[in-house]
Amino acid sequence: MGCGGAQDLKKVFFYKKTMKRIAVVDNNKLKEIEKKKRAVNLCPVNRSGGECIKILDDGKLYIDEVTCIGCGICTKVDPDAIHIVNLPEELTKEPIHRYSANGFALYNLPTPVFGKVVGIIGRNGIGKSTAVKILAGVEAPNLGKPGTKAAHEDIIEYFKGSEAQGFFEKQKAGQVKVSYKPQQVESIPKQFKGKVEDLLKKVDEKGQLGEVAEALELTAVLDHDISKISGGELQRVAIAACVLKDANVYFFDEPTSYLDVKQRLKVSQFIRSLATPDTGVVVIEHDLIILDYLADLIHLMYGQAGVYGVVSQPKSGKAGINTYLSGFLKDENVRFRDHAIKFEIHPPIDEKKIHELTRWSSFKEKLGSFEISAKEGVIFKNDIVGILGENGIGKTSFVRILAGEIKEIKGHELAGLKVAYKPQYLETSDELVLTFIQDAIQKFEVQLVRPLDLKGLFMKKLSELSGGELQRVHIAKALSQESDVVLMDEPSAYLDVEQRLRLGRIIKDTLSLSHKSALIVDHDLLFVDTISERLIVFEGKPAVKGEVEGPFFMEAGMNRFLKNIALTFRRDEETKRPRINKPGSQLDTEQKRSGRLYYA
């Protein structure tokens, strides 16, 4: 691209006049000195005698945002590492926090409100956790001046006229006491050695350990070693530890990861109960049905992962989620997705067009002290069967038995069929992504590689990937493998809300193109509702016995599942997304009376 044309310059000076911009350079990615020199030499401001982009003494590339005219030429040198972003015009203020000069910039903050649960929704990498850490006092904001710490007065001034002003005034007056549950519960066993009870006793400022442990179903694991409990138990221990602190604003960063649907709903009810006139709650959550159930108010966050993030003004729970799905913030005049997301009501399946693909006979098997029994079941051609049930009730074992993955239990494999299997726990190795998913690259570039955003990962080893990246790679592998049936165990785990919303469509399209059927275990109800044609519902007792029945058609399956958890669902009129009815509401009562729990 040339950089000196009169037309180009006219365009860039127009940008300079009208747009507010930031320059973000990831110097960890931009290692080669040659690339840095090229960026310096290409810059039109540098070429005309100014000094806009330079290499600092410590070898880092630096861009002066004041003299930069936003032409974007330097980004061509390494689009992954150099970002010049023209921000929405409505964004008139400086960032509330900047990681470093040319580092990630966060604009605005969510506002805790006493008596309410405030939700935060947005994709990963746009500063949700940072925003919560600032409010929780874990990180000090710098008002866009890296290396400094903003004074309380300046923060109050920054938020003057908004609800947040009141919150920071109260914080300054010592009237706010916060408690914070971090996102990464996996690190708790590294920081604390001993029993669950010892940890909770240590933080119990309210003297409510017994009550809270009971509400979160932790009583049975109180004497267990913290290093030996499951991910779901660890999550509930982290929530208990947060709640036992005597605070009046509670922050929960992703409180439902590792939890099954039943636990998610239980934890949501518990978190909701914390919001009293003297107490506020803030929650970051990717499960839209849970967020809808939990939050009174919602802040949307948009931006560019690793570059900048903006917190929207708060909206009511329903409007917040519908606006998020629409991709357009009307009040702020910002489009943050080029399309709206709508949900389809499942049309009834034409039973004449159903052709059987395979079946399993009824069986009863023992796995140690756990017993699993299944009634006879059938998978149709082009079938997508969702699997719902509690943790520890044998969903994964059932899928592994059908896949022939359990050595001790043979004879129930889907006979004569090739099965591709994506396990729940994803193995890593030193293999390159490029070779691991070569089938996907060769055959499903449009259906998988592009929409799952895998290109940038090709040269990484599996062992170098984040949880979400590894998940996307394994999904592509399972869907591209030669098979008749794809079995997937928790494909939505580690994915953010945006990726989950896309994943349903990606899986459906790829399966339909390759004429395959699938069995999919997941705990995100919106995802299961979006993707499934039919449902298998597990019943039984966790860690004791699991009973498999189905697959059922959607309405029958969901009715069965919702009966177990005593909830009813309706469809949002605008987006057709499923929503949980408030227990005891008119709709809830009517639907329970008519037996149509799924949606009226």
Q: Which is nearer to ligand SF4, 67 or 373 (CB)?
A: 67
Q: What is the length of the chain? A: 600
The site for ligand SF4 (CB under 6 A) is made up of 42-45, 52-53, 63, 68-74, 84
Least spacing, CB of residue 336 vs ligand SF4, in Å: 22
What are the tokens at 135? 């409010």
Least spacing, CB of residue 81 vs ligand SF4, in Å: 12
Q: Where are the beta strands (DSSP E) in 175-296?
A: 178-181, 249-253, 280-284
Do the Cβ atoms of 412 and 363 come closer than 8 Å? yes
Least spacing, CB of residue 66 vs ligand SF4, in Å: 11
**C-alpha–C-alpha distance, residues 476 and 481, integer Å:** 8
Q: Which is nearer to ligand SF4, 45 or 242 (CB)?
A: 45
Do the Cβ atoms of 287 and 217 come closer than 8 Å? no
Cα of 451 vs its chain's centroid, Å: 16
Long-range contacts of 464-473 (CB under 8 A, 24+ apart): 465/428, 465/433, 466/494, 467/493, 467/494, 468/124, 468/494, 468/495, 468/496, 468/499, 470/426, 470/428, 470/494, 471/426, 471/495, 472/499, 473/433, 473/436, 473/437
Q: Which is nearer to ligand SF4, 65 or 539 (CB)?
A: 65
Q: Which is nearer to ligand SF4, 64 or 154 (CB)?
A: 64
Q: Which is nearer to ligand SF4, 70 or 122 (CB)?
A: 70
Q: What letter would DSSP give residue 464?
A: G
Q: Which is nearer to ligand SF4, 71 or 291 (CB)?
A: 71
Least spacing, CB of residue 332 vs ligand SF4, in Å: 25
Q: What letter would DSSP give residue 584?
A: T
Residues 6+ apart with CB under 8 A from 491: 422, 471, 475, 503, 507, 520, 522
Least spacing, CB of residue 52 vs ligand SF4, in Å: 5
| Cα 49 to Cα 11, 40, 44, distances in angstroms | 20, 12, 9
**C-alpha–C-alpha distance, residues 147 and 428, integer Å:** 37
Least spacing, CB of residue 44 vs ligand SF4, in Å: 6
For the beta carbon of residue 343, count every other beta carbon within 10 angstroms.
Answer: 17
What are the tokens at 97? 């926090």
Q: Quote the longest CA-to-CA distance of the chain.
A: 80
Q: Which is nearer to ligand SF4, 43 or 185 (CB)?
A: 43
SS3 170: helix
Task: Give me the DSSP letters along 358-410.
Answer: EEE--EEEEETTEEEEE--EEEETT-EEEEE--TTSSHHHHHHHHTT--TT--
Least spacing, CB of residue 39 vs ligand SF4, in Å: 7
Q: Which is nearer to ligand SF4, 69 or 244 (CB)?
A: 69
Least spacing, CB of residue 111 vs ligand SF4, in Å: 34
Least spacing, CB of residue 7 vs ligand SF4, in Å: 15
Q: Which is nearer to ligand SF4, 84 or 120 (CB)?
A: 84
Least spacing, CB of residue 21 vs ligand SF4, in Å: 8
Q: Which is nearer to ligand SF4, 71 or 237 (CB)?
A: 71
b/e 395-419 (16+ beta carbons within 10 angstroms → b): bbbbbbbbbbbbeebeebbbeeeeb
Least spacing, CB of residue 456 vs ligand SF4, in Å: 21
Q: Which is nearer to ligand SF4, 42 or 200 (CB)?
A: 42
Least spacing, CB of residue 388 vs ligand SF4, in Å: 50
**C-alpha–C-alpha distance, residues 307 and 65, integer Å:** 14
Q: Which is nearer to ligand SF4, 55 or 203 (CB)?
A: 55
Q: Which is nearer to ligand SF4, 45 or 473 (CB)?
A: 45
* Peptide bond between residue 551 and the one before it cis (omega within 30 degrees of 0): yes
What are the tokens at 239? 């929530």
Least spacing, CB of residue 73 vs ligand SF4, in Å: 4
For the beta carbon of residue 256, count every other beta carbon within 10 angstroms.
Answer: 26
Do the Cβ atoms of 559 and 597 come closer than 8 Å? yes
